[in-house]
């Protein structure tokens, strides 16, 4: 066996050090674009233009109209850890997106980069070229006020990283996603993205008066308009506004109604002090706020902006600056969950307009194409090219029943009038002992009686739990659960809160707890599995979300089994009573799984179906 010769310690060349560091800061063209755009935002730019070729692999440029740099500042800007953003060297008071002084030298070390800049009042601009980390002397150049950074042959100096890049279209998509997130957080800045002669993003700046929601009487219409341009018009039409404060933290933004949901969480945008972040705490808080309204495989659409005191949040966690840590994570999580639930409760029985759009689309004559409804658990409905009456009958008829049978509502005091006095109208008929048809002043409402009553029962059960507390049941033989030293410590720190939820624990030696009481509503359960899962989620989310989920999941199960079943014939009084309860109950626009409880068809839309408009 050969003996490896001893290697002496030595200092690595600066170019190699920069390339190693670039691996953390610049993962792909989108990372480089994000860093350069953040620099432009910090420089006070009003408009930023990004251009790509081959997804940024061969060419990437970022042009801004910010404050610009002198020749001496250009030379320093491409040196590691040189920055103008920490005037007092205080990492506890970071007010800019960039602050580490790593972006430009990291990008320059793995590419051929040219930086051209002109500050206000200067007679000429200056340009600096860096080739794989080796920089030239600055020279005069022609350029308007601001800075232009051109990056060519990205990763030519690190061929291994180059091999892992995806197709140009994929890389362009990542750049566009990064730019959209920054555009959401900074609506006062105009953004444009050009890729291979195509314009992917073109967002004009929003007037400051439309985004100054912090001042008395201020409006957030401009921010919502920017979000609508990025997330789609349906998001703007089906959201509730968020504005809440707690102990120096302020949360603003918009949250989609539960019936406006998606199969993944990629439409959840979270920002801390104007910085786009992907934080498990914030994602977990959103999940906790919506857990009672959506199925486990559906996710809401949200755009939340958290303003935090700089001394209470640490953004110096990772070179990519997409992770943050809070000094008191419980305050932040409580603020998010409370604000979202309050806003959703204020929405009352409102459901998203996409529900009615899907229904209208299903009623229109089709050519055999499948229509995928936007709610969780729905399957595409394929309608043959028939007349409207046949198509409507097939869409409304349950499986196995050839036609719909209409039960007219008997005349009575509650059924008189056109329903103008009630948002959900008055009952006119019952279809298939499952659907209630009500007339409103502006159209027709069709209610799924089982889904609606399920939500009403669920809210009633939750109210009872909140009023009387979670009843406990003592275990005849207390169970000892091994969770490890860290898990036991996390559980011990939350024992008071867990007891409020009905789970009574006590420390038991090193790395174990003993369970003495459990929530009575859960009945018989796997105590060992519950406590271990709870310890794991405390490590991930820092809260007792799992236990709340289990308690409220049981409430949902009980509500499902005790609610009015499909197939039961209701009287006129019962149908109208159900409608009135829905109007008075928060969240009644969707069942416990995020599906709509009713569909509202406007009279104008119905008239269009029949060619009257």
Residue-wise pLDDT tens digits, 561-611:
556 666 788 888 989 998 998 888 877 887 766 678 888 888 888 887 777
Instruction: Label residue 253 by pLDDT band (50, 70, 90).
Output: very high
Angle at CA 456, nearest 5°, toward 422 and 429? 50
Q: Is the pLDDT of residue 309 over 70?
A: yes
Q: Are strands 302-307 and 268-272 parallel, antiparallel or unpaired?
A: parallel
CA distance linking residue 114 with residue 16, whole number of Å? 20
Are the beta carbons of 345 and 586 closer than 8 angstroms?
Answer: yes
67-95: buried (b, 16+ CB within 10 Å) or exposed (e) per residue? Answer: bbbebeebbebbebeebbebeeeeeeebe
* The two domains 14-203 and 223-346 share their CATH topology (first three levels equal): no
How confident is the model at residue 212, as a pLDDT? 58
Q: At what angle do helices 484-493 and 527-541 cross, to 10 degrees?
A: 80
CA distance linking residue 93 with residue 273, whole number of Å? 12
Residue length, the chain? 613
Alpha helices for 27-100 (secondary structure H): 29-42, 71-77
Burial of 248 (0-12, 13-18, 19+ CB in 10 A): exposed
CA distance linking residue 161 with residue 154, whole number of Å? 10
How confident is the model at residue 413, as a pLDDT? 44
CB count in 10 Å sphere of residue 260: 25
**CATH pick for 223-346 out of 3.30.70.100, 1.20.58.410, 3.30.230.10, 1.20.120.1200:** 3.30.230.10
Q: Is the pLDDT of residue 442 over 50?
A: yes
The Cα diameter of the chain in Å comes to: 100
Q: For residues 19 and 184, which has the higher predicted lDDT (pLDDT)?
A: 184
Q: For residues 440 and 13, which has the higher predicted lDDT (pLDDT)?
A: 440
Cα 163 to Cα 27, 132, 157, 159: the distances in Å are 12, 18, 12, 6
Instruction: Identify the DSSP state of 8.
Output: P
Paired tokens of 134: 């080796």
Q: Is the pLDDT of residue 368 over 60?
A: no
- Residue 513, beta-bridge partner list: 481, 507
Instruction: Label residue 164 by pLDDT band (50, 70, 90).
Output: confident
Q: Is the pLDDT of residue 383 over 90?
A: no
Average pLDDT in the chain: 79
Half-sphere exposure for 217 (CA within 13 Å, toward CB)? 1
Q: What is the mean pLDDT of residues 220-233?
A: 88
Are the beta carbons of 154 and 29 closer than 8 angstroms?
Answer: yes
Are the beta carbons of 81 and 101 closer than 8 angstroms?
Answer: yes
Give the three-class secondary structure for 243.
Answer: strand
CB count in 10 Å sphere of residue 187: 24
Are the beta carbons of 150 and 143 closer than 8 angstroms?
Answer: no
Fold of 14-203: Heat Shock Protein 90 (3.30.565)
How confident is the model at residue 403, as a pLDDT? 38
CA distance linking residue 146 with residue 130, whole number of Å? 19
Instruction: Identify the DSSP state of 38.
Output: H
Paired tokens of 184: 């959401």
Angle at CA 338, nearest 5°, toward 333 and 343? 135
CA distance linking residue 467 with residue 461, whole number of Å? 10
Are the beta carbons of 320 and 562 closer than 8 angstroms?
Answer: no
Of 487, 482, 550, 543, nearest to 512 (Cα)?
482
Q: For residues 323 and 179, which has the higher predicted lDDT (pLDDT)?
A: 179
Of 342, 345, 356, nearest to 588 (Cα)?
345
Instruction: Label residue 393 by pLDDT band (50, 70, 90).
Output: very low
Share of the chain above pLDDT 70, in %: 73
**Spans of all domains in the chain:** 14-203, 223-346
Instruction: Label residue 422 by pLDDT band (50, 70, 90).
Output: confident
Strand ranges inside 196-329, DSSP E: 198-203, 239-246, 249-256, 261-262, 268-272, 275-277, 299-300, 302-307, 313-314, 325-326
Q: Is the pLDDT of residue 512 over 60?
A: yes
Give the three-class secondary structure for 178.
Answer: helix
CB count in 10 Å sphere of residue 338: 15
Write down the pTM of the prediction: 0.66
Residue-wise pLDDT tens digits, 73-118:
998 888 877 776 666 656 666 777 876 667 888 888 889 999 999 9
């Amino acid at each position: 066996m050969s003996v490896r010769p001893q290697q002496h310690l030595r200092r690595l060349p600066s170019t190699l050090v920069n390339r190693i560091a670039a691996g953390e800061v610049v993962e792909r063209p989108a990372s480089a674009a994000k860093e350069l755009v953040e620099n432009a935002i910090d420089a006070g730019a009003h408009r930023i233009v990004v251009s790509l070729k081959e997804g940024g692999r061969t060419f990437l440029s970022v042009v801004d109209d910010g404050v610009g740099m002198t020749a001496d500042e250009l030379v320093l800007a491409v040196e590691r850890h040189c920055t103008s953003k920490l005037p007092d060297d205080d990492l506890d008071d970071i007010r800019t997106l960039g602050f580490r002084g790593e972006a430009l030298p990291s990008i320059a070390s793995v590419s051929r980069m040219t930086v051209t800049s002109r500050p206000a009042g200067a007679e000429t601009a200056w340009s600096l070229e860096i080739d794989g980390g080796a920089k030239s002397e600055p020279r005069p150049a022609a350029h308007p006020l601001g800075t232009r950074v051109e990056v060519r042959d990205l990763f030519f100096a690190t061929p291994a990283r180059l091999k892992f890049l995806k197709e140009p279209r994929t890389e362009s998509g990542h750049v566009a996603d990064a730019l959209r997130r920054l555009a959401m957080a900074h609506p006062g800045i105009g953004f444009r993205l050009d890729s291979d002669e195509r314009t992917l993003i073109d967002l004009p700046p929003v007037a400051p008066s439309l985004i100054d929601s912090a001042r008395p009487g201020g409006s957030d219409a401009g921010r919502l308009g920017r979000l609508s341009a990025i997330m789609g018009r349906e998001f703007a039409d089906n959201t509730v506004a968020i504005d809440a404060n707690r102990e120096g933290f302020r949360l603003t933004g918009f949250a989609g109604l539960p019936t406006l949901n998606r199969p993944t969480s990629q439409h959840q945008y979270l920002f801390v002090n104007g910085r786009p972040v992907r934080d498990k705490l914030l994602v977990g808080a959103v999940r906790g706020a919506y857990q009672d309204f959506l199925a486990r495989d559906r996710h809401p659409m949200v755009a939340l902006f958290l303003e935090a005191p700089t001394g209470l949040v640490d953004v110096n966690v990772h070179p990519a600056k997409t992770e943050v840590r809070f000094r008191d994570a419980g305050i932040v999580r409580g603020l998010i969950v409370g604000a979202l639930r309050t806003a959703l409760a204020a929405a009352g029985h409102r459901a998203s307009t996409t529900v009615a759009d899907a229904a209208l689309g299903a009623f229109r004559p089709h050519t055999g194409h499948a229509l995928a409804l936007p709610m969780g658990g729905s399957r595409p409905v394929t309608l043959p090219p028939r007349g409207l009456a046949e198509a409507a009958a097939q869409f409304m008829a349950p499986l196995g029943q050839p036609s719909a049978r209409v039960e007219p509502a008997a005349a009575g005091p509650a059924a008189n009038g056109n329903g103008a006095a009630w948002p959900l109208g008055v009952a006119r008929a019952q279809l298939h002992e499952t659907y209630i048809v009500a007339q409103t002043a502006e159209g027709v409402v069709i209610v799924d009686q089982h889904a609606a009553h399920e939500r009403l029962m669920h809210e009633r059960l939750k109210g009872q739990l909140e009023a009387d507390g979670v009843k406990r049941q003592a275990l005849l033989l207390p169970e000892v659960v091994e969770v490890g030293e860290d898990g036991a410590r996390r559980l011990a720190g939350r024992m008071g809160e867990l007891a409020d939820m009905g789970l009574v624990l006590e420390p038991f030696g090193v790395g174990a707890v003993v369970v003495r009481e459990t929530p009575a509503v859960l009945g018989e359960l796997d105590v060992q599995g519950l406590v271990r899962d709870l310890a794991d989620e405390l490590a991930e989310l820092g809260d007792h979300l799992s236990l709340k989920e289990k308690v409220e999941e049981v409430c949902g199960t009980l509500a499902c089994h005790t609610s009015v079943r499909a197939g039961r014939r209701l009287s006129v009084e019962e149908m109208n009573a159900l409608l009135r309860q829905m109007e008075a109950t928060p969240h009644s626009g969707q069942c416990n799984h995020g599906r709509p409880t009713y569909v509202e068809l406007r009279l104008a839309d119905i008239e269009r179906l029949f060619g009257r408009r």
